[in-house]
Amino acid sequence: MSISLDGFVAGPDQSRENPLGVGGLELHHWHLDEPFHEADARVRDELLTPCGAYVMGRNMFGPVRGPWDEDWRGWWGEEPPYHAPVFVLTHYPHDPIPLEGGTTFHFITEGFDVAFERAQEAAGEGGVDIAGGASTVRQAFAAGVIDELMLDVAPVLLSAGERLFDGVKDPGLEPVEVIHSPRATHIRYRVGR
């Protein structure tokens, strides 16, 4: 997860025009802007290595609130970077959306535990990645299913928005790797529980 120095993973006022909130894009320059620093490219390539399945919140899938806008198919176009089943948490039922490259978005209305269980079944031995956003990661911490956390700390202060750790009981994070670049400090933590 890309995160600001003051703990935000998205800025305030998220919308279709500002999917990461006002200022939130600043958190992602390390993997979006060329030329890439060698350290950032290494972390980006690891980030893009497919998992067996993913779980994400509806806000990460798109800006649509309430009943579905049936034309919305995600931020990523017809070939999202996941190349695996993605289980999206939502309060509103929706038929699955199959896209190119092996990504199918499945919409789960029964909560995080059901989404994670379905993702584990789909992943087999491939592992499950909690793709975000902040609320979904907080639910994953509460469920005790996070073994490892990679934080990409951008040298940015957002002052408002969506905090990652609000309400999270201390998971006993143990730093196991630190990778530094001018655009971010990437810290891999083992979750101690």
pLDDT in tens, 70-115: 688 888 889 999 999 999 999 999 999 999 999 999 999 999 999 9
Tell me the CATH number at 41: 3.40.430.10
Nearest Cα to 184, choosing from 82, 46, 18, 36? 36
> Is 177 a domain residue?
yes
Does 137 fall in a domain? yes
d(C-alpha 153, C-alpha 30), whole Å: 10
**pTM to 2 decimals?**
0.93
Distances (CA, A) of 87 to 14, 28, 42, 58, 63: 21, 23, 27, 10, 16
Span 112-171, pLDDT tens digits: 999 999 999 999 999 999 998 999 999 999 999 999 999 999 999 999 999 999 999 999
How far is 20 from 43, CA to CA, in rounded Å? 20
Tokens (6 digits) for 68:
């579905």
Q: How many domains does the chain have?
A: 1
Residue 72 domain-assigned? no
Residue 109 in any domain: the answer is: yes
Say which residues have a Cβ less than 8 Å from residue 122's Cβ, sequence separation at least 6. Answer: 52, 53, 84, 85, 87
The answer to the question of residue 87 being in a domain is yes
pLDDT, tens digit, for every residue of 1-13? Answer: 999 999 999 999 9
* Parent domain of 167: 2-63+79-191
**Lookup: tokens for 45:** 């390539």
* pLDDT score of 193: 63
Assigned domain for 55 exists: yes
46 vs 181, more confident = 181
pLDDT recorded at residue 90:
96
19 assigned to some structural domain: yes
Asked if 182 contacts 37 with a C-beta cutoff of 8 angstroms, the reply is yes
In a domain, 22, yes or no: yes
